[in-house]
Structure 1
Amino acid sequence: MTKPTASPPPSTPGTPDAPHTFRSWLHDRSELGVSVLLLALGVLVLTDALTMDVDITQRGPVGPRTVPVVVGIGLLIVATLLAIDVLRGGRGQAEAGEDIDLTEPADWRTVLLLSGVFLGSAVLIEPLGFPAAGALLFWGAAFALGSRRADRDPLIAAVLSLFTYALFDKLLGVPLPGGPLMGVL
């Protein structure tokens, strides 16, 4: 007959096991990090909205502060509700997408390529203008995500970029830099 083994005593603060226990408690409630991020964003949005310089004359009940204040309050409410849910034992479901292998590591090459394309277009938008920088952005994003159709990708990127430029600059009245190409067209 075997003797039952005694379970180890619970760790108390100051023992070597205490940090590991706290770390595992945090690991089990990692969604609290999202809650803290949402809380910080809500405070930032509200602070920015309430310190905004606004013209006193307003034409209606909704001023320029209304939307940022509503968004900031919404962020604070969601952060609070998420924290309460996590502390009560709620957990987010692991993604079980049909074509996602959760055991595979992240594709950092794609992430870095997309980041480089985005930053490059942000740098080039002023000297080249939105149509050229936007075309480079659309084509670069397609390339980074795996498309290798050199016959159609640049053409689609140029059409998308010109359409976006016309929509925002001409129809919606949002000024975008046209660059040297817009002087020719």
Structure 2
Amino acid sequence: MTSTVDNPVEEPSGLGKTRSWRDYSELGICLLLLAVGVLVLTDTLTMSADFTQRGPVGPKTVPIIVGAGLIVVSLLLARDVLRGGRGEAEAGEDVDLSAPTDWRTVLMLSGAFLVNAALIDTVGFPISSTIMFWGSAYALGSRNHVRDPLIAAVVSVVTWLVFNELLGVPLPGGPLMGAF
């Protein structure tokens, strides 16, 4: 009778190779999740308590759950990666993985978001978001110059009304501030 130490079983091809840093690249995501989780928890726990709490659940509850969840997920993912787990490559039916990045679209979308961030305090949420939604639709290929700005304006105003009037979350209204 031979022992497994004297007669080792050969591993299937590729399994016995040493792993390179590229095989552990997913650990970068683990570090990012861990850093964000620690940041959320640190920021939450050092938050001043100058507010009145309504009900049993305070304003720190959700951020603590989210921060702790991020840390747990990062640790579980790191464990999986170190044990040899790999993320599955995207296998979308309409995605050409060999196609280069469309930098024009990426830059146009980034520009739409930056314009929104720059204008929101000046012209208000409805107008700046209309510009962002219209710019995003244009960047993603829609060229209907009548329908797109109308839909963008309706979505922006309805969103502003829902947050401002129904949820009680004040968003800058700009010219609409006195209208409602």
Give the TM-score normalised by structure 1.
Answer: 0.82
Q: Residue 84 of structure 2 aligns with which residue?
A: 89
Q: Give the Å deviation of 1:65.
A: 1.2
Cα separation, 2, equivalents of 1:71 and 1:106? 32
Q: Give the Å deviation of 1:30.
A: 1.1
CA RMSD of aligned residues (A): 1.8
Is the contact between residue 54 and residue 64 of structure 1 (CA under 8 Å) also seen in structure 2? no
The equivalences for 1:160-171 within 5 A come to: 160-171=155-166
Residue 105 (structure 1) aligned with residue 100 (structure 2): yes
Q: Which amino acid aligns with 1:51?
A: T
Residue 38 (structure 1) aligned with residue 33 (structure 2): yes
Cα separation, 2, equivalents of 1:182 and 1:55? 28
Give the TM-score normalised by structure 2.
Answer: 0.85
Superimposed CA distance per residue, residues 119-154 of structure 1 (whole angstroms, 9 cap, x where no aligned partner): 101111111111111110110010011100112111
Q: 1:42 to 1:111 in 2, by over 3 A?
A: same
Q: Which amino acid aligns with 1:134?
A: S
Q: Residue 127 of structure 1 aligns with which residue?
A: 122
Residue 177 (structure 1) aligned with residue 172 (structure 2): yes
The equivalences for 1:62-81 within 5 A come to: 62-81=57-76
> Identity percentage over the alignment?
65
Q: 1:57 to 1:155 in 2, by over 3 A?
A: closer
Q: Residue 15 of structure 1 aligns with which residue?
A: none
Cα separation, 2, equivalents of 1:110 and 1:74? 33
SS at match of 1:83: helix
Q: Residue 29 of structure 1 aligns with which residue?
A: 24
Q: Which amino acid aligns with 2:124?
A: G
Q: Residue 116 of structure 1 aligns with which residue?
A: 111
Gaps of 5+ in 2: 1-17
